[in-house]
Structure 1
């Protein structure tokens, strides 16, 4: 066919050249142009004035003009010594419409069509349209749609233009009716096909689409099949052939793969050759994965090569190669594995170049970089730099690449390309929790203030018992070594009496100011310190507030408590994600309190340790432990004894700083803050002392039937959680489901602690990053309780919306 087309083209070119004797061209005239300029034609024309024109050269000129795809016809004529070129322009594409496509987005289709010259404003070429038609059909075939048809409609318009309408009828995806593996004896079909993307219809096919045939999916599955065997000792495994047949109606697919398992091989020897920069380190890496006597495992060999490359890349050998050479001894069924190391040139970084940061200053990005200019290339430093940039929250995407410096063999430039996103927000939110009720919040925040990376925010929050207004400013890079300085001012008011028996009945209002200092120790840990002052006014209500709290306030002799506050905190964070971590953990310890000169001098310690472990199959184990302890210090002169305060001893820990337990973020299955010590309101008219709750937590008081939780100076909490790999929640950054067990409680003080008084629950929980804010729903069942806890059990708990 190609030879026939070539002959036809040659014949047409010869016919379009008027027979003439060679002559010298005195001038060139072009007839028939309307849209294309004469200058454009002259640029492609291999003939100039003053040159001698022969028939062969004329044919070459016609071919050159045809190859531009601007013209559908070209003829040459002669008037005296003037060369006359008559052309017929191809029409331009005035409009391109694509309809009927669902699997492939219209924008993606138009980009592909434009790359081959089929786009609005381009010259129309019928051959290009035919190629597009066949390419689209091929793409749909790869998606398993064999009933597809692509029908082009070309409509002639005025001024030598056309409108193209591509009508796509996708049809239905062919379903896999049979998937057969032939020749497998060591493993069952079920074992082999466990991780296949392709398969016959099952109850999850509506979601996984595994029964929809795709040649790309099948190719990937055959690769997985080979890996499955070669990772289990079958070093000479091979897929001999694969056949795919389709039913006459093009709706059913039948797949057969013939395999040759071969024998099981063991590793006989492991050789590490080449230029070994760190022989001991490299040998230890290989020995950790590939050992003589073990079954051959291709994945283990690949892990060895990756480990060696990673070590070399961190030392500056950015383009190191490690070639794997397995030598099979079929007689003894052993494999001799040789790893040949070629480090190449040691590379250092000439420049770090930032692109895409139109708002954020270069300095903000540069201070997050752990790969420095002028130093040896380090892949670990680059990887860490990317994580630090992503955690800023200023960018949608961060891409870091390297390019060789022209003319050198040992230099690269690091290109950091970012796509900025808004780091500020004007937010109005509505949330709800069973503890706080309706929550209204509003804030103005900017985490990248004027492109400097500084954080500034002003916000307010209102619920049925709580009101808060605060403002803060933080500069995370006050000094070159990353010390940060910030300020925070806050006004809050809480009326716990509106919560009934869920909380001790009193109210307070607090004004505070603090300055904070952040000191980084490493990429994973840092220290935070703060110094400030606060003023808290506490209102108690006779007969409604538990008497022990009223006595405490009377002992202090002040309704308003003034405090100089200070804190020191340490964190060590190795989690791979803030929201949906799957590995790593968090360690934190904070000591804070009221400094000397405060109305009540106290200190408290709060610590937490948690960790995530991937345990295989998509399951993630999470363990968390928390502890809190507070006490007073100094020469304070009152203490509680038998429900009263007497002079000569120091204060108890202040009740407004008590720890509480229970709730959707604590020990689930119990109402928020209801576990731990409880007391009654009112005075017993007979004894003159505070009403004491009975064994069931009842008060038998005319004010409150149930005892009121008041918290305590000591708290412990533990959580064990398993996150589930649900197929309909593949994106764990959006939602996660887990099974959990919580245990914990609050105690009056450390001396009151007893494991027998720990409450516990188990259940299932959903965490969802909904558009309205984080949503947490838990279904919990308490299985270990204390007397009186039954009044505060809550099986279903939820909270949503962001709190400022």
Structure 2
């Protein structure tokens, strides 16, 4: 910086005039200028003033001149950044890079100093180096535009991430490397690295892994454990990284004392039962922290919203003993003054309020807040749900609950085109509104057509028919089904049905359902195609029917000169009562990773129906979290049915089926279980289904490949399926079970659910119909 104070004799400043300012306010200059009216100014003091003004960072050039007793200061302002653009960045989001640039004073609207170009390169290179990309190239370009402004474009060539070649831990004498690094995110390159990407170096990941390392030792009593140093070496070509962590294990400590201090609020013995750490056992930091968290949660559920529980250790290094005092600071007990909703432009407040478990005028409860959030998320009306609990100004014992939602469309009008191996081409039109006029009611109309089924459905459901959460709805439908094209026995059904449905909540996770309805079912058989046992069942239970030549047009029967045909038709009227119980604690609807789902339901054709029968079903599914991103699913389904009263057995059109894309995978849809040779072709066997069904699945769910985060709309898994169908329970035998294993991908796509399975039968018998690849996509109803 040159001293641009013109040579002048000392003088007393009578006035100060600023010239050249366009963006910088004069007030900003005067606030920094160490000269005022009436001051005596000489060249030395003028030079000091120029240095002070340069430090503001606003100017490229400053000159001082004297006009009489007036001090004139001429400024050349630095340009302003009009536009800041990043290109070529893929691994790091633009907003994250911009945040780092803003922290060094570089953002749109700010003053630009060309010396900042080096700082731009250094900052972005630092961010990429932290992600393990040491070959990154950063090239900023500056374009001068009008009105003393510039556009800055930063071209990024990320290069490939450096891979961890070795991850070495030195000093771990008590545990093997594999044990202590089991949950690390950073690992040396291995055969799964292409999928897990765990060999890509990141400073943040390494810091997290070292914290896990310390937690591992301190959970096992090594109170003095310490990571002494960490070295990260990069190969000359910057493609490989070598990580070494030097650790000192120390000695194992025993927990000799555990105290509770402060304002306990609740009974001390009750609080102690919440702490898993036990005196006399090896010290575990995790057990102590879990105890502190449990106490905090209990207090937050009875109004102490700002409770804190702090573990205070007392270490005796000589005896290798440690005592811990849990200091309880409950704070002020608060209650909720008001619950308000923000962002629900279409959905009525009442629809949200009835899901809230935190009520106005009651003590604050974190558990009630958390449960309310889950219930709102499960509605499916909102992209996001966030809950804030601001303090009420001027009141230490009150807070408000503000629920902020971002609405998404809860309705759809779809013209669907889909395909499945068993159903062929699927065309459907579906109109569904799950939040009808913002009331939370569901209205749906569906029309479906494919090679073997024509279907029309209309449904309505009011989930809060009463204030207690009792739901009420009804369904009307008509279906024409060619069962033979669905890998079932050769017969057709035309069914008209109507049902009234009711749901009664018993608790947050338990619901009882009831429905009452009537079906009118026309069954058409074909002599020479329909298995003889099915025709004889209808003849025995309902009596024989005249044959006619045109399918589904029975009125021609009995007319003169009409020859007898191969078709016979029976009409079955059925009054149905269905009752069920369901328990659902899953954390998500489409792709859950934890929780349990159970459902028991029974269906009975009431006395007076043309055929009297009942069916019982039990479904059980449990998701076990395994680490942060893996989970294990075990699922079982059992079904049983039989006739009663005047009906000898379960009607064949109500049989259970197994095999297919949603059942025992690797076997064709509906083909497992009893079969019967076709009357026209004794070498072709038609599946009959059965009155008893058992299917079990064990499935390991893991992150979808090539994605960095879990997705609620996609799920990838490896599975083992076991199951079959029997004519009746007494025929069940473990030797009859079929088994398969494979991989499955499920995606809740905009056009409807997509399922792709690759399965290999592990246990099959001669005559089983198998297929390795099974898929289904598009809207199916």
User: Which TM-score applies when normalising by structure 2?
Assistant: 0.85
Among 175, 182, 205, the alignment partner of 1:187 is 175
Among 527, 539, 545, the alignment partner of 2:524 is 539
**Residue 415 (str. 1) matches residue 402 (str. 2):** yes
Which stretch has the larger CA shift, 115-124 or 425-434?
115-124
Q: Distance between the aligned counterparts of 2:466 and 2:46, measured in 1?
A: 75
1:543-576 C-alpha deviation (Å, 9 max, x unpaired): 3223343344445258322333332222111222
Q: Distance between the aligned counterparts of 1:719 and 1:477, measured in 2?
A: 35
* Cα drift, residue 170 of structure 1: 4.2
Among 713, 720, 725, the alignment partner of 1:745 is 725
* Cα drift, residue 776 of structure 1: 3.7
1:709-741 C-alpha deviation (Å, 9 max, x unpaired): 3334x3231414141557947747422222314
Q: Distance between the aligned counterparts of 1:151 and 1:608, measured in 2?
A: 60
Which stretch has the larger CA shift, 442-451 or 703-712?
703-712
Q: 8 Å contact 1:17–1:55 — kept in the other structure?
A: no
Among 449, 453, 478, the alignment partner of 1:491 is 478
Distance verdict in 2 for CA 1:16–1:496, change over 3 Å: farther
Among 416, 433, 447, the alignment partner of 1:429 is 416
* Cα drift, residue 306 of structure 1: 1.3
Q: Distance between the aligned counterparts of 1:410 and 1:265, measured in 2?
A: 42
Which stretch has the larger CA shift, 368-377 or 54-63?
54-63
* Cα drift, residue 509 of structure 1: 0.9
Corresponding residue for residue 689 of structure 1? none
Corresponding residue for residue 613 of structure 1? 624
Q: 8 Å contact 1:45–1:64 — kept in the other structure?
A: no
Q: Distance between the aligned counterparts of 2:423 and 2:704, measured in 1?
A: 34
Q: Distance between the aligned counterparts of 1:102 and 1:662, measured in 2?
A: 43
Q: 8 Å contact 1:744–1:759 — kept in the other structure?
A: yes
Among 129, 133, 140, the alignment partner of 2:128 is 140
Among 739, 742, 755, the alignment partner of 1:764 is 742
Among 469, 493, 512, the alignment partner of 1:508 is 493
3-state DSSP of counterpart to 1:505: coil
Among 257, 267, 291, the alignment partner of 1:278 is 267
* Cα drift, residue 588 of structure 1: 1.4
Q: 8 Å contact 2:8–2:66 — kept in the other structure?
A: no
**Residue 721 (str. 1) matches residue 698 (str. 2):** yes
Distance verdict in 2 for CA 1:100–1:763, change over 3 Å: closer
- The gaps in structure 2 that reach 5 residues or longer are 544-568
- The gaps in structure 1 that reach 5 residues or longer are 1-7, 637-649, 682-700
**Residue 561 (str. 1) matches residue 572 (str. 2):** yes
3-state DSSP of counterpart to 1:190: helix
Q: Distance between the aligned counterparts of 2:669 and 2:157, measured in 1?
A: 57
**Residue 223 (str. 1) matches residue 211 (str. 2):** yes
Corresponding residue for residue 604 of structure 1? 615
Corresponding residue for residue 655 of structure 2? 658
Q: 8 Å contact 2:667–2:771 — kept in the other structure?
A: yes
Q: 8 Å contact 2:677–2:685 — kept in the other structure?
A: yes
3-state DSSP of counterpart to 1:767: strand
Q: Distance between the aligned counterparts of 1:179 and 1:792, measured in 2?
A: 50
**Residue 774 (str. 1) matches residue 754 (str. 2):** yes
1:15-67 C-alpha deviation (Å, 9 max, x unpaired): 699954243x6xx865435x549xx535875699xx95535899999899768
Distance verdict in 2 for CA 1:46–1:137, change over 3 Å: same
Corresponding residue for residue 520 of structure 1? 505
Equivalences for 1:377-392 in 2 at 5 Å? 377-392=364-379
Q: Distance between the aligned counterparts of 1:414 and 1:63, measured in 2?
A: 53
Q: Distance between the aligned counterparts of 2:659 and 2:188, measured in 1?
A: 48
Q: Distance between the aligned counterparts of 2:17 and 2:189, measured in 1?
A: 69
Q: 8 Å contact 2:528–2:680 — kept in the other structure?
A: no
Q: Distance between the aligned counterparts of 2:528 and 2:8, measured in 1?
A: 115
3-state DSSP of counterpart to 2:344: coil
Q: Distance between the aligned counterparts of 2:124 and 2:488, measured in 1?
A: 67
Among 664, 667, 671, the alignment partner of 2:668 is 671
3-state DSSP of counterpart to 1:285: coil
**Residue 267 (str. 1) matches residue 286 (str. 2):** no
Which stretch has the larger CA shift, 329-338 or 426-435?
426-435
Q: 8 Å contact 1:319–1:344 — kept in the other structure?
A: yes
Q: 8 Å contact 1:662–1:745 — kept in the other structure?
A: no
Instruction: Say what the alpha-carbon RMSD is for the aligned residues.
Output: 3.5
1:411-443 C-alpha deviation (Å, 9 max, x unpaired): 222232222222222334344433333333332
3-state DSSP of counterpart to 1:487: strand
* Cα drift, residue 617 of structure 1: 9.1
3-state DSSP of counterpart to 2:359: coil
3-state DSSP of counterpart to 1:135: helix
Which stretch has the larger CA shift, 355-364 or 516-525?
355-364
**Residue 735 (str. 1) matches residue 723 (str. 2):** no
* Cα drift, residue 540 of structure 1: 1.6
Among 183, 187, 205, the alignment partner of 1:199 is 187
Q: 8 Å contact 2:716–2:745 — kept in the other structure?
A: yes
Q: 8 Å contact 2:719–2:744 — kept in the other structure?
A: no
Q: Distance between the aligned counterparts of 1:449 and 1:61, measured in 2?
A: 70
* Cα drift, residue 294 of structure 1: 1.9
1:354-409 C-alpha deviation (Å, 9 max, x unpaired): 23333322222222111112211111111111211211112222222322222232
Q: Distance between the aligned counterparts of 1:374 and 1:149, measured in 2?
A: 59
Corresponding residue for residue 364 of structure 1? 351
* Cα drift, residue 468 of structure 1: 1.2
3-state DSSP of counterpart to 1:628: strand
Q: 8 Å contact 2:358–2:364 — kept in the other structure?
A: yes
1:569-596 C-alpha deviation (Å, 9 max, x unpaired): 2211122233333332222122323345
* Cα drift, residue 175 of structure 1: 4.1
Corresponding residue for residue 694 of structure 1? none
3-state DSSP of counterpart to 1:194: coil
Corresponding residue for residue 297 of structure 2? 310
Q: Distance between the aligned counterparts of 2:532 and 2:660, measured in 1?
A: 26
Q: 8 Å contact 2:32–2:53 — kept in the other structure?
A: no
